[in-house]
Chain A
């Protein structure tokens, strides 16, 4: 069986995102949550709510779940399979929920060998957020332990729960990240009235509040712990979250309780999703230089605060969801998701499976020079 190559990217003059950017997927479907395999030969993502992965440079999509699965995130595990965060369907979803508790939780699954078609091994329920363990081994999971509190579970590479920290955090964990050394976590937590950033020491389970936001502010996505401080995106929770909403990038030192606007980006910079590089030295941010500019991928050198645009957007719509960008393990590329204008009738002399800009597709952006 031959597998068709992806539409050529490097030879094309412009894919709408600047030089050097090449497609990693093609065809219809809403893609999200990209993730590179450890050897960078494959990439996984969520496609219309189900999980697929594929070789980096060719088609040949491999589906891992049923199409009605409701996947949110997917990560390669050290055994070559996939770990999946999938939505639960809470029976009490229509019941009133206390402030700071949306009621919705997710479960974590591991894929089984391919002969077990679409069968998954459920590791745990009541999951709120996940992050890969140190060096991509195992998993750190935020769990809902009761209506007003969250805990943390450490899951080994074999899928077994190794350690649980219960009821440590007051509120609902919305996102988490490991420190560069892997010995601490930073958590964004939605409390009854406010959002807060917590630092949690994994050696003894002690936690402390790093910063508490004003009541009208919320943290978007997971904070990121770099080699030069913790970064997060925050904005007015009463404003609809679009890529033009005035969400700002902030920085806080781990031993400080005073966040400040992230240096180097400029006061007009609007931030959306962000991810620290594998070595913690750089930060990938999807954002806008100012409210009137187009969305681009930017790379911040956290040691020098130097901000460089990695894409040169020519009217593409770059996705700004908190999971919609991913570093390759080498730190030389970032995967983003973008589409062209979709409102008008389009006719092409090509099969739908080979079309790029008509649908949300994954693009590889080289960032080794930034």
Chain B
């Protein structure tokens, strides 16, 4: 009888120790997994980086007329100076059957790391379809910036249709 109690106690003790070991390993594993899923924090300034911005207030005030002013802001977000930045602004219609597209080009000599450069452009936003006095489709302004070393950025603005004949 004493032997039987000894064997049962021993088996119970072994079970508790083994289960505890498995629980410990499982917790260890899940902690490691959670840790590995944390995304690495990107460096704020690692290599060349370029971004473009257009002022929403200025975009909102554009009319379907010639001689509209639009400022393109190029920002060097990287840690190296950028030079010879080519800006191309394209005005097109969302109606792809309209063949006319207008291009405007400018060059920014250099932008130091962390700095921005504003380039004012005079653009023609009169209807691309010569048969229209006022366009019934939206106008697309797409700006691209590229450097000789291949750093690039793009920004696209889609102007809403104007429901009445613009004045001025």
Let me know if B157 is at the binding interface, CB within 8 A: yes
> Could you tell me the distance between the alpha carbons of A359 and B156 in the complex, rounded to whole angstroms?
13
Instruction: Verify A349–B154 contact, CB threshold 8 A.
Output: yes
Using A347-B56, A347-B59, A352-B142 as known contacts, say yes or no to A29 and B159 having CB atoms under 8 A apart. Answer: no
Which residues in window 327-354 of A have CB below 8 A to B? 342-352
Q: Tell which of B56, B59, B96, B144 touches A28, judged by Cβ atoms closer than 8 Å.
A: B96
Let me know if B138 is at the binding interface, CB within 8 A: yes
Using A28-B94, A67-B99, A68-B97 as known contacts, say yes or no to A350 and B138 having CB atoms under 8 A apart. Answer: no
Size category, A interface: 20 to 34
State the main secondary structure of chain B at its contact with A.
strand
Q: Which residue in chain A gives the minimum CB-CB distance to B157?
A: A347
Let me know if A10 is at the binding interface, CB within 8 A: no
Q: Tell which of B56, B59, B93, B154 touches A351, judged by Cβ atoms closer than 8 Å.
A: B154
Instruction: Verify B160–A343 contact, CB threshold 8 A.
Output: yes
Instruction: Verify A345–B158 contact, CB threshold 8 A.
Output: yes
Let me know if A236 is at the binding interface, CB within 8 A: no
Using A68-B97, A345-B59, A345-B60 as known contacts, say yes or no to A28 and B140 having CB atoms under 8 A apart. Answer: yes
> Could you tell me the distance between the alpha carbons of A12 and B71 in the complex, rounded to whole angstroms?
33
Residues of B within 8 A of A350 (CB): 154, 156
Residues of B within 8 A of A232 (CB): none
Q: Which residue in chain B gives the minimum CB-CB distance to A70?
A: B97
Q: Tell which of B51, B56, B92 touches A349, judged by Cβ atoms closer than 8 Å.
A: B51
Q: Which residue in chain B gives the minimum CB-CB distance to A349?
A: B155
Let me know if B79 is at the binding interface, CB within 8 A: no
> Could you tell me the distance between the alpha carbons of A219 and B114 in the complex, rounded to whole angstroms?
63
> Could you tell me the distance between the alpha carbons of A346 and B156 in the complex, rounded to whole angstroms?
8
Instruction: Verify B160–A345 contact, CB threshold 8 A.
Output: yes
Instruction: Verify A358–B96 contact, CB threshold 8 A.
Output: no
Q: Tell which of A48, A68, A344 touches B96, judged by Cβ atoms closer than 8 Å.
A: A48
Let me know if A355 is at the binding interface, CB within 8 A: yes
Instruction: Verify A351–B156 contact, CB threshold 8 A.
Output: yes
Q: Which residue in chain B gives the minimum CB-CB distance to A66?
A: B97
Instruction: Verify A347–B156 contact, CB threshold 8 A.
Output: yes
Using A345-B56, A347-B56 as known contacts, say yes or no to A49 and B156 having CB atoms under 8 A apart. Answer: no
Which residues in window 43-77 of B have CB below 8 A to A? 51-52, 54, 56, 59-60
Instruction: Verify B155–A359 contact, CB threshold 8 A.
Output: no
Residues of A within 8 A of B142 (CB): 351-352
Chain B residues within CB distance 8 Å of chain A = 51-52, 54, 56, 59-60, 92-97, 99, 138, 140, 142, 144, 153-160
Instruction: Verify A348–B96 contact, CB threshold 8 A.
Output: no
8 sample A-B contacts, Cβ–Cβ < 8 Å, listed by A number = A28-B92, A28-B93, A48-B97, A68-B97, A342-B158, A347-B156, A351-B142, A352-B142
Residues of B within 8 A of A358 (CB): 158
Q: Which 6 A-B pairs have the closest CB atoms?
A: A48-B97, A29-B96, A28-B94, A67-B97, A346-B158, A347-B157
Q: Which residue in chain B gives the minimum CB-CB distance to A69?
A: B97
Which residues in window 179-197 of A have CB below 8 A to B? none
> Could you tell me the distance between the alpha carbons of A345 and B142 in the complex, rounded to whole angstroms?
13
Q: Which residue in chain B gives the minimum CB-CB distance to A346?
A: B158
A52 to chain B, nearest CB (A): 9
Instruction: Verify B54–A29 contact, CB threshold 8 A.
Output: no
Residues of B within 8 A of A47 (CB): 96-97
> Could you tell me the distance between the alpha carbons of A350 and B155 in the complex, rounded to whole angstroms?
6
Let me know if A135 is at the binding interface, CB within 8 A: no
Let me know if A225 is at the binding interface, CB within 8 A: no
Q: Which residue in chain B gives the minimum CB-CB distance to A52?
A: B96
Residues of A within 8 A of B99 (CB): 67
